[in-house]
Every structure is written in C-alpha cells, then in structure tokens.
Amino acid sequence: MSLVVHPWLPNSPKKIKEDMLKTIGVKEVSELFSDIPEKVRFKGEWDKLEIGFGRPLSELEIQRIIDDILSKNKVFKKPPVFLGAGVWPHYVPEVVKYIMSRAEFCTTYTPYQAEISQGLLQALFEYQSMIADLLEMEVVNASMYDWASAVAEAFLMALRVNKGKNRILIPSTMNPMHLEVVKTYTMPRGVVIEKVKYDSVTGLIDLEDLKEKVAKGNVAAVYIENPSFLGFIEENARDVGEIAHDGKALFIMGVDPISLGILKPPGALGADIAVGEGQPLGLGLNYGGPYLGIFAVKWDMKLIRQMPGRLIGLTTTVDGKDRAFTMILQTREQHIRREKATSNICTNEALCALGAAVYLALMGKHGLKKLGELILYRTNYAIKKMNTITGVKAPIFKSLHFKEFTVNFDKTNMPYTKIHKELLKKGIHGGLYLREFFPEFGETALYCVTELHTKDDIDLLIKSLKEIVEGWSR
C-alpha cells in the first residue's frame, strides 16, 4: 500500500486512518463531523476531489501563480490612499523596520518565564514608560490587540470597577467598527450601550443630553474619542469627564497618539482610562494588521488591579546590585486565573509595542509636535481646497479637524459610489463612504490626510474630483 494515496492528504491511507481513529476512540471519521449539518457536507469520494491543479506543483510554479494573482492588486503610493477611519497611512522610518526585524525581536513574545528575557522586558518597559508620558497616565499595560479590543476591554473593566451598574454612554459618532467589537465583547454581560446626541452644527457631544442620561443613574462609564471618528476635535472633553465623575461613572478616552503632539492628553483632561490605536507609531497599514492597542489608567489600585493584559516593572536583583525587569502583574489572564481572570486576552502585541517604542524614541516630543502641526496644516489645506469644488461641502461640522474630515457631495447630484469608482480609474483611492454608518449624512465620505500626502497629492485629488463632479453636472 502506498503511504500517500492522495497528494494533498497525507493521512489518507486506510491503515493510517484506522490507527488514528482507534487511538482517539472513534469508530468512523463521520463522528468527528457530527456537528456539521448533513446538507453542507461533501458527498463525493475524497480521492476524487477536484481541487488545485490536478497535481502537486513545484515551488517555482507556485511562486509564479501567486505572482500572477498579486499582479492584479492595485497599489496606491502616488498619491497615498486618502482613506483613514481608524487606521491611517503614515511614514514608517527604516530604523523601526530594521530593529523589529532583528533576530532577537522578530519572533518576540513575552515568555511565561519572563525574567530570562531581560532585553525584551526592558523594551516593553520603555514602551510603557513613553506611552505613559504621552498620555499623562501613570500605568500602561504591555499592549492590547488594537483600539477596538482595547475599548471593549475598558468597558468590561468599568463594569467590574462599578459593580452593579450596566449602562455605558458613548458618542453617536463613535467609530462604528469599534462599536461592533464592543457589542460582541459586552453582549454576554447584559450591558446597555447608549448613544449620546451630538450638536448638529459642531458635531461635539451634546452636554445637556449627556447630563440627562447620566442623571438617570446606573452608568458605569462615559466614553469619548478625541479626535472623533469623523475627525473633529472634541472640545468638550474635560466637561464630559466632569459630568461622568459627578455621576460616579468612569471617564474613558480613546485617542490617536499622533494627535497628542498638539492636543491635550487624556490625563490632563481627567480621564480614568485611556485607550487608542498604536498603528500610527511606526507600524504601517500591514494589510489590516497586526496593530497595537494602547491601554492606560491613572494611579488608582482599584483600576490597576482590574486592567487586562500584562504589566512590566523595574526592580533589582536579590542582592540589590543590579536593576532587573519583571512581569509584575499578569494574574488577570486566563492562563493564570482561568475562569476568574478579568480578561481573556492571552497574548500581546509585543513586536508592535517594540516598534512603537523605537518610533517614539526616534521622534521625541519635538518631533511629535512638528508632525502634529504638519498634519493639522495639511488637513485644513485639503478642507479649504475641497470647498472650491462646485456642490461640495467640507467638513459637514463647524469644528476644528485633525487628519480626517467629512466631505458631502449631496449638491453634486452624483452618488459617492460613482465618484469613488471614477477616482480609482485615475489611480486615486478616495475616502470612506459613510452612508452605511451614518445615513443622515447623505452622500458623505470620510477623507484622511497625513504627512505622507504632499501639497501636490492633495491638489491632484482636488483636480480629479473637480473633473469628475463638474463633468457629471454638464
């Protein structure tokens, strides 16, 4: 009998399958798939599966096929994509890529016997320290998966801290993708997620509506984003925190760390918990991940003890002669506490955290400030130029915007889906169509501008939009 009857199924010989089934105490292979509905099961013979190319392929043949498939992708570099919505095109310094690719880091993972990896622990400690300075929060964990999971964990943490309360208030303009993750995380806990109205002129959170909702009681936390998902700066942030605290609720802020070069940090605005996306800190877009969830709290043991993830601390050796790094808190994880764990996160984004630490060290506080100013200038230049297009209004709210802004095309009488397709034909990737998330905005898209978008890139976008929109109207 041939050891391999089928080229892609090494366990296909009858004898091998019988031995395997006997070992696990199962009589028929079909028993292993009893939870799969009968109607969707494959009914043919396994050795006559019509898959692949009919024969095993060589490495060279496979590479050519893959290259052919990849050649169909369109890469947007000149100009870069004008799409943000939670992750953004930013420049990644080569030194960040180089250090992340070093052998001692490139497969980085905080080991369970952590103290033997002093270099990695120090890198994570430095990450925590720099993020703490950036946010003006005292305690930062060794990272989460992304902003969405970080804010979901923050909501669950608020429920543990404020036991007996099950309401969480969020802005109506919250990132809708993050909100879906939050709902998935909190659904089993019976959490009530309530949206607070926004001012129809400025987009800022409606303080009177917030006060009314907080006054009803049972609010565990109030959450805001600054800048918001729609790009405007939430100038009411401090007031929101005071209202939350008056109602004995926690104040949670979500931030884009790049903005903190020019905006007040969460700690200065009274936040109890701060979360955010570390992707802009030297990580690139990476086809959608992996990214880096930022999570921080102020110095309060009732908060620190309920944080998800791991904390790296600085101590000394037993004889006190040398400094040493160690994992000081990881008991909140499921592999330690099992069902009593405060979080189900059982890994971290250590390599991404390392990259963020290198990026922050490279930029420094002056570099971040200059970068923030540059993005702010280019954002407002793009907004000004957008309004030179017939029938276009940008932004839809009268507020200061950072990096992202809304563009309304209602008066062009042209659907944005058509506009976007025409832009793609010109080699330009436009903004995110918002109708699915905010139907009340009409034909509106969310555009993004960063340091990667030069004046020429922005001018090309405007020129292309003018040709599309004004050509349509004629």
**What residue numbers bound the domain in which 102 lies?**
94-360
For residue 430, the number of C-alpha atoms closer than 13 Å in the C-beta half-sphere is: 28
The CATH number assigned to the domain holding 423 equals 3.90.1150.10
Report the pLDDT value the prediction gives residue 116, as an integer from 0 to 100.
65
DSSP state of 145: S
Distance CA 414, CA 391 (A): 10
Total tally of structural domains belonging to the chain: 3
Pair 281, 381 in one domain: no
**Considering the domain boundaries, does residue 76 fall inside one?**
no
**Considering the domain boundaries, does residue 336 fall inside one?**
yes
Do residues 124 and 313 lie in contact, with contact meaning Cβ atoms separated by under 8 Å? no
**Considering the domain boundaries, does residue 50 fall inside one?**
yes
pLDDT-based confidence at residue 45 (cuts at 50, 70, 90): confident
Distance CA 353, CA 360 (A): 10
Domain end marker among 64, 80, 105: 64
Q: Which of 34-38, 87-91, 258-262 has the lowest mean pLDDT?
A: 34-38
Q: With H, G, I as helix, E, B as strand and everything else as coil, classify residue 297.
A: strand
pLDDT-based confidence at residue 341 (cuts at 50, 70, 90): confident
The closest of 211, 199, 208 to 172, measured between CA atoms, is 199
Pair 124, 182 in one domain: yes
Omega before 290 within 30 of 0, i.e. cis: yes
Do residues 165 and 155 lie in contact, with contact meaning Cβ atoms separated by under 8 Å? no
pLDDT-based confidence at residue 404 (cuts at 50, 70, 90): very high
Report the pLDDT value the prediction gives residue 13, as an integer from 0 to 100.
84
Do residues 403 and 258 lie in contact, with contact meaning Cβ atoms separated by under 8 Å? yes
Pair 236, 314 in one domain: yes
**Considering the domain boundaries, does residue 460 fall inside one?**
yes
Do residues 315 and 301 lie in contact, with contact meaning Cβ atoms separated by under 8 Å? no
Do residues 158 and 168 lie in contact, with contact meaning Cβ atoms separated by under 8 Å? yes
Task: Put residue 398 in one of left, alpha, beta given phi > 0 → left and psi -120 to 50 → alpha.
Answer: beta
Do residues 382 and 136 lie in contact, with contact meaning Cβ atoms separated by under 8 Å? no
Q: Is the pLDDT score of 44 beyond 90?
A: no
Domain end marker among 343, 360, 377: 360
What pTM does this model have?
Answer: 0.86
The residue whose two tokens read 């506080």 is 365
Pair 346, 408 in one domain: no
Domain end marker among 330, 360, 390: 360
Pair 356, 369 in one domain: no
Work out the end-to-end distance of the chain between its first and last CA atoms, rounded to an integer number of angstroms: 75
The CATH number assigned to the domain holding 284 equals 3.40.640.10
Q: Is the pLDDT score of 110 beyond 60?
A: no
Q: Over the stretch 413-465, which tens digit does the pLDDT of each residue have?
A: 999 999 999 999 999 999 999 999 999 999 999 999 999 999 999 999 999 99
Pair 354, 374 in one domain: no
pLDDT-based confidence at residue 120 (cuts at 50, 70, 90): confident
Distance CA 77, CA 75 (A): 6
Distance CA 375, CA 381 (A): 10
Phi, psi of 234 (to 5 degrees): -80, 90
Distance CA 5, CA 9 (A): 8
Distance CA 255, CA 228 (A): 8
Q: Over the stretch 155-175, which tens digit does the pLDDT of each residue have?
A: 999 999 999 899 999 999 999
Q: Is the pLDDT score of 2 beyond 50?
A: no
Average pLDDT over residues 358-375: 96
Pair 402, 453 in one domain: yes
Average pLDDT over residues 370-385: 97
**Considering the domain boundaries, does residue 439 fall inside one?**
yes
Distance CA 135, CA 260 (A): 8
Report the pLDDT value the prediction gives residue 103, as an integer from 0 to 100.
82
**Considering the domain boundaries, does residue 398 fall inside one?**
yes
Q: How many CB atoms within 10 Å of residue 218?
A: 13
DSSP code string of 26-38: -S-GGGGGTTS-G
DSSP state of 363: H
Average pLDDT over residues 170-190: 94
**Considering the domain boundaries, does residue 55 fall inside one?**
yes
Pair 428, 355 in one domain: no
Pair 125, 224 in one domain: yes
**Mean of the per-residue pLDDT values for the chain?**
90
Pair 386, 289 in one domain: no
Pair 323, 208 in one domain: yes
Alpha helices of 78-168 — where are they, by DSSP H?
94-100, 103-106, 118-135, 147-161
Cβ neighbors of 52 (< 8 A, separation 6 or more) are 8
Pair 424, 318 in one domain: no
**Considering the domain boundaries, does residue 270 fall inside one?**
yes
Q: Is the pLDDT score of 111 beyond 70?
A: no
